[in-house]
Structure 1
Amino acid sequence: MKTLLPFLLSLTLPMLTSPLVVAAETVATKPALEALWQTDGLRVPESVLWYQQQNNGKTDSLLFVSEIDGKGNEADGVGGIALLNTDGSIRDKDWLRGLNAPKGLAVYQGKLYIADLTEVVVVDIASAKILNKIKAPEAVFLNDVTVDPKGVVYISDTRLNRVYKLEQDKISVFLDNVEAANGLTVVAEQLYIAAADKLLKVDLADNNKTVTQLASGFAERADGVEAVGNGDFIVSCWAGLVYYVHADGRIKELLDTRAAKLNTADIGWDAATKTLYVPTFFGNSVQAYKLDLQ
């Protein structure tokens, strides 16, 4: 683990033509991100999930990190899940191994759900044991996963432009024709989908499954999406961008690491501490930022 001080100092040098300098100036107004720490030595981290549990009567917070390790579209069995502490230190580098390009993560009632290329892997968190592997019909590239309050799991397939749902150990198609469907999150019976350059939503109580647009205009294809907790959202774009999305659809760039070739994949979020966790994919690191809204 190391701090981001050298990286941040490099942004203050008088290189007026540098895209990173532009990004630093862009985040000068609120909301803005303040760098906290960076953990290196991970193996192609794609997704981060903040999780809180009770451990011997005490509250314990940790980060699940999915590591592709091999290629993102191959069933090579070398992927896995690492555990980090919320200060960036590594808790368990090999908590779970033997997966196939694992990406999005979600938790429900003590179980971890993993989007693992063409199937959803269900893991008992307490024992780190795989309980089930459920194949999604026709799946090509499962990407993100989220769970609604009733325990229904939703999974995106970016290559098929599709969102599946997992219910009672069976996966079926929930939505089709959602271009580049990727990041997913559920808030108050609304499913939010980061897809292409848009943030979309679907009312889960709507039998017609009408898709409406909340925001658009991301400069790159969207990857992860997290609800801030005040009606707003944070959206990452894999190419190296992070945006703040207001409830009224306005978007603001928070971070641009494209010039440094640091991809920003499926982000994690702790609403209580307003901490954003960003996996850098080929950068093999996770970076933490404090979101300043004031």
Structure 2
Amino acid sequence: MKKIITLLLSCSLLGLGASPAMAQHKLQQIWQTANLPTPESVLVVNEEKFTYLFVSLIDGQGDAVDGKGGVAKLAIDGAVIDKDWITGLNAPKGMAIYKNRLYVADLTELVVIDIEDQKILKKIQIAGSVFLNDVTVNSSGVVFVSDTRTNKVHRVDDDTPSVYLENISNANGLKAFGSNLIVGAGPELLLVGPDKKPLILAKGFAQGIDGIEMTKRGEFIVSCWPGLIYYVYANGKIELLIDSQAQKINTADIGFDPATQRLFVPNFFKNTVTAYQLQ
């Protein structure tokens, strides 16, 4: 595990060409799309011909089995392609894609959607779950989904779920990285390898971590739901980019396009998605 940390650090610093203390990032707003009912997560989809966004819409209470939720499809410029791309979900949150399958965390189920046919294939019940939150998938197609209220991360291999991690306080944001998993655990960003022993990559976030996106090897953008967005350097230094808590503009599960360095932020209670250019 120490070798992994060293590799992340060394590769990232080589890419920067300067120490993190000298580098200052900022976010420049480029567009905002309104009238999206309680957006919780944004996922960037890079297909061969074009790039677009999936946005999970709770459209109700965050823990209600009400069938009001769904997934919207937006163009990369924020134009709404299909607000009702998928409907009938229950407070959907994090999403991930593997091949033609979209995986969506839906309270106590992992919903599997055929993207091409635009239909729900199955709903995988996650035993003992209460509040499934974020989803990520590794290069082998193994899906991981966090349960914030039970402090667990579940693994779903060939549509078969099992408990992968326990006692991860307020487990939320997830990002698969090779055979490793980046986990947002309250105010700490963790790296968990195959040995399942968490190591702290960064800490000191003012609120619990929600979304995690890798900007380059070993560096991340992290959102905290109440209205905070941070840049995280490979040495653990964190840099505050947005603080919209006073304006009550929530920053939920973010999406990021490495090709354009654009960040997409769901503003939960404002019913908007805002796009920023990372500079």
Q: TM-score w.r.t. structure 1 length?
A: 0.86
Alpha-carbon displacement from aligned partner over 1:158-211 (angstroms, at most 9, x marks no partner) = 0000000001111110000000000000122220001100100111xx2x3111
Shift of 1:60: 1.2
Match of 2:10 in 1: none
Within the alignment, does 1:159 sit opposite 2:128 as a pair? no
- Counterpart CA distance in 1 for 2:230 and 2:91 is 26
Q: Does 1:39 align with 2:33?
A: yes
CA contact (8 A) 1:38 1:286 kept: yes
Larger displacement relative to structure 2 (221-230 or 139-148): 221-230
Q: For 2:270 and 2:173, locate their aligned partners in 1 and report how far apart those are by CA, in whole Å.
A: 20
Q: Which runs of 5+ in 2 are unaligned?
A: 1-22
1:135 counterpart residue number: 125
2:62 to 64, 72, 83: 72
The answer to whether the aligner puts 1:236 opposite 2:230 as a matched pair is: no
CA drift of 1:52 comes to 1.4
Aligned-pair distance for 1:232? Answer: 0.2
Percent of aligned pairs with the same amino acid:
52
CA separation in 1, counterparts of 2:277 and 2:225?
20
Q: Distance in 2 between matches of 1:61 and 1:260?
A: 31
Q: Which residue of 2 aligns with 1:274?
A: 261
Within the alignment, does 1:113 sit opposite 2:103 as a pair?
yes
Q: 1:199 aligns with which of 189, 193, 199?
A: 189
Counterpart code for 1:31: H
The answer (yes or no) to whether the contact 1:162–1:177 under 8 Å persists in 2 is yes
Query: 1:272 aligns to what SS in structure 2?
Result: coil
Structure 1 runs of 4+ with >2 Å offset: none
Task: Give the structure 1 partner of residue 139 of structure 2.
Answer: 149
**Paired amino acid for 2:213:** E
Tell me how far apart the structure 1 counterparts of residues 166 and 178 of structure 2 sit (CA, whole Å).
Answer: 22
CA distance in 2, matches of 1:186, 1:120: 17
Match of 2:235 in 1: 248
TM-score using structure 2 length: 0.91
Matched AA of 2:28: E
Say whether the 8 Å CA contact 1:37–1:88 is kept in structure 2. Answer: yes
Shift in Å, 1:70: 1.1
What SS does the aligned partner of 1:228 have? strand
Tell me if 1:50 matches 2:44.
Answer: yes
**Structure 2 CA distance, aligned partners of 1:252 and 1:228?**
14
Unpaired stretches in structure 1, ≥5 consecutive residues:
1-28
Distance 2:46 2:254 in 1: 16
Aligned partner of residue 269 in structure 2, secondary structure: helix
Aligned length: 257
- In the TM superposition, residue 263 of structure 1 has moved relative to its aligned partner by 0.5
CA contact (8 A) 1:187 1:227 kept: no
Displacement, 1:260?
A: 1.0
